[in-house]
Structure 1
Amino acid sequence: MSLHCRYVFIFLIALLTNPVLAAGKWSGNVALEYRYFTENALDNRQHGDNWSFSAQPEYFRRWDGERQSFTFVPFLRIDENDPERSHFDIRELTWVKANKNHEWRIGIRKVYWGVTESQHLVDIINQTDLVENIDTEDKLGQPMVNLSLVRDWGTLDFFVLPGFRERTFPGAKGRLRSQPRVDTDQAVYESSSGQRHVDVAMRWSHNIGDWDIGLSYFRGTSRDPRFVPGVDSSGAPVLVPYYDQMRQTSLDLQWTTGNWLWKLEAIARQSNGASYNASVAGFEYTFTGIFKSKKDLGVLLEYHHDSRGTRA
């Protein structure tokens, strides 16, 4: 365990046992993970199996007639072999102030947009924590100020996002990873502000009968880096992440009818001096009470389109 992770672990134990925070509600999870790889590694620095430990406590408290709340969700991963996977993150550290027709949400949060399952085109606010899993479902906490206006014609959200989070990648000893590896220490930004660039976003969402509709706009640093070839300090080839500035307009739709969910996500993006559009559309059908039991079975089919073709 690295010295940094030891300090974080001690901090979490002290936090969990603090009597001052007893007024709120604690929950969370701890996990011990074992990975075994049936194929030999391409790099002799990698291992055939791996142990790791994770902890994610959650603290939640409401007051002021439930008009105000505070949420704190830290996350800790300690990995046996990969120092890049051993990391600490604040998934959420948020104060919420709710009024009759608007809400303020300030702090570090995770925000999810979209409706499809196989790819989340519209989901743009949070950065991917790729060392956790290659499915890109795990996200890093994003600092933000979010004003939400609740009206009869829908909910309008405004976001100011100070501070950019770089995507995490496995280190030289990590699996699964690319070959050559991604060297995050050499990350390059199109913006001269780098990680200090302030992004902005807005979203309108509404429910109309059986329809769920969302329209979103984002301007800022791309969460998806492109890669340029480079070398590390020892002269070995690496991939260097390059974070472009981008603008994205998006639409997400979901129509619910009986056991059917019909879904669509579509984006138009301008980045790296070019524009393209992409979409995911499909359906989800749920068979309820299969074999006269209490179990359900879901069937999913989605189609992907990208105007860049094989360059996507």
Structure 2
Amino acid sequence: MFKSLKLLGLVACVAGVGMPGQAEELSFSGELSLTARYYEDDGLFFGQPSSGTSYIPEGRFGFRTDLGFAEAEFEVYGRADSRTGSELVDIQKAYLLTGGDRWSVLVGSDIVFWGVAESYNPVNIINQNDNFGRFDETRKLGQPMVNVNFESGALGTFSFYGLFGFREPDLGTTSSRPRFIVVPDDDVAIFEKSSDKIDFAFRNTNTVGIGNGSLDYAVSYFNGTDRTPVFLPGCANRRFPVSVPTCNAVNRSILASYAGLRPGSQLPLAGQVFLNAPLPTQLFLLSGASVGAVPYYQEIEQVGVELAYATGNWVWKFEGAQRFAQNEDYFLGVAGVEYRFNQAFGTPGALTLAAEYTYDDRSNLQPFTVFDDDVFVSARYDFNNRLMSSITLSGLFDMGNGGDVYMLDISSRLTDSTQISFSATQVDFGGFFDPLSLLTRDDYYELKLTYFF
């Protein structure tokens, strides 16, 4: 289970001694953490662990140095899970950065964040999702890229991205918690174009004064492979006597069936694909032999807008994206507000209240989402003390299906180099067709100790 962290240690050692000529300018940092995650209930699906505790060691190591002609930064992250056996080593940053007064060029791997909302960020599409332990798309993997930035003055900053090599996400195994009903087969993933094609993105950001406040805005465009797949029924987890040519032929037929679908049907996607498939493909699916979930990555275009208007203690936010996909065009967005009470309750601390509405009009032909018609509320109290202590209570309430998610997060420094945090998540699903029903037995409590260096 500690193979990932052993490799991380080796990489960190190499990074620390790899450039002796620049040692006096080398800045090294990192963190090590151990998480104990306790699940109240046995897993809902076959193969998932029973109730109990998982131990998750994590490590992050990095360095930064000035090479004269450019700045270099490297950061690697690793993780292992004691119960499921899942492991990850990801080079999240490995780039050279150079530039002048009004321009910069980054070449290498990096993580880029877009968005202003608290609940989730529909425009944040540069990096692939790290789906470990959650469906909220907050964890990301490093993305190889060339990023060119120009500062224009009154018109803000213009950023251009060339993204090289698509990174398939880890879609989990039968033991993963949480997971989908049917575990997708990574080995038979299908791409509308190629996983090696170059994706392109653009973003313009700026800040302007309006009235008694300031508006931060961003307009963005993305053209490339969707980071989240559509799961199609097809030939997956191939077993004898199904041959590779047969499996490939079935999946080509399934893809043609999917391409002919249009929004409007209330049937699940698998049912629509089945009914639109030719008879031989239908018979294969009915046989159950080597039938499973096939990840399909389609090409999309996305136009995004981010707005954050701050005036006094208020911040008004909007974040939205229009996506143009193979079978349909759809909108996803978040709108909300937050208010900050300074010296709340007569203390040095600050209380921040936030409320957001999330909307998504995609049909069931598109990738799965839980943020389709929901209200998100949160209350965060920052103690504003030397230990950087905070408490956050939040909830996500589904207006359509009646499902709810409740979250509690508490964190505090123990010393300048150590932090302890506690989090809890509880899911109440609204019925069989509620997407949150996948998580009905995945309530958990988590205690994490982190050491920074």
Asked if Structure 1 and Structure 2 have the same fold, meaning a TM-score greater than 0.5 normalized by the shorter chain, the answer is yes
Please name the residue that 1:241 is paired with: 295
Matched to 2:35, the amino acid is: E
Q: Structure 1, residues 163-207: CA drift from partner, whole Å, max 9, x if none?
A: 01112222122212122223222221111x2x2011001111111
**Conserved in 1, the CA contact under 8 Å of 2:12 and 2:62?**
no
Match of 2:189 among 183, 187, 191: 187
**Post-superposition, which runs of at least 4 consecutive aligned residues in structure 1 deviate over 6 A?**
none
- SS in structure 2 of the partner of residue 232 of structure 1: coil
Matches within 5 A, 1:1-312: 1=1, 5=4, 8-9=7-8, 11-15=10-14, 17-18=16-17, 20=20, 22=23, 23-48=25-50, 49-62=53-66, 64=68, 68-83=70-85, 85-131=86-132, 133-152=134-153, 153-191=155-193, 193=194, 195-209=195-209, 210-230=214-234, 231-233=236-238, 235=289, 238-308=292-362
**Conserved in 2, the CA contact under 8 Å of 1:81 and 1:174?**
no
Task: Report how far residue 10 of structure 1 moved.
Answer: 5.0
Task: Report how far residue 132 of structure 1 moved.
Answer: 5.2
List runs of 5+ in structure 2 lacking aligned partners.
240-288, 366-371, 373-453
CA distance in 2, matches of 1:125, 1:35: 29
Distance 1:278 1:46, change over 3 A: closer
**Conserved in 1, the CA contact under 8 Å of 2:29 and 2:63?**
yes
Higher helix share: 2
Higher strand share: 1
Task: Report how far residue 57 of structure 1 moved.
Answer: 0.9
Give the alignment's TM-score, normalised by structure 2: 0.63
**Conserved in 2, the CA contact under 8 Å of 1:30 and 1:54?**
yes
Distance 1:18 1:93, change over 3 A: same
**Conserved in 2, the CA contact under 8 Å of 1:116 and 1:280?**
yes
Distance 1:270 1:217, change over 3 A: same
Matched to 1:207, the amino acid is: T
* Greater Cα radius of gyration, structure 1 or 2: 2
CA distance in 1, matches of 2:134, 2:75: 19
Q: Structure 1, residues 98-152: CA drift from partner, whole Å, max 9, x if none?
A: 2011100110001111111112011110011001543321100000001101111
- SS in structure 2 of the partner of residue 103 of structure 1: strand
**Conserved in 2, the CA contact under 8 Å of 1:276 and 1:308?**
yes
Distance 1:17 1:154, change over 3 A: closer
CA distance in 1, matches of 2:41, 2:54: 14
CA distance in 2, matches of 1:275, 1:219: 14
Give the alignment's TM-score, normalised by structure 1: 0.90
More divergent stretch after superposition (274-283 vs 131-140) = 131-140
Identity %: 30
CA distance in 2, matches of 1:74, 1:82: 22
**Conserved in 2, the CA contact under 8 Å of 1:132 and 1:138?**
no
Greater relative contact order (Cα 8 A, min sep 6): structure 1 or 2?
2
Task: Report how far residue 309 of structure 1 moved.
Answer: 6.5
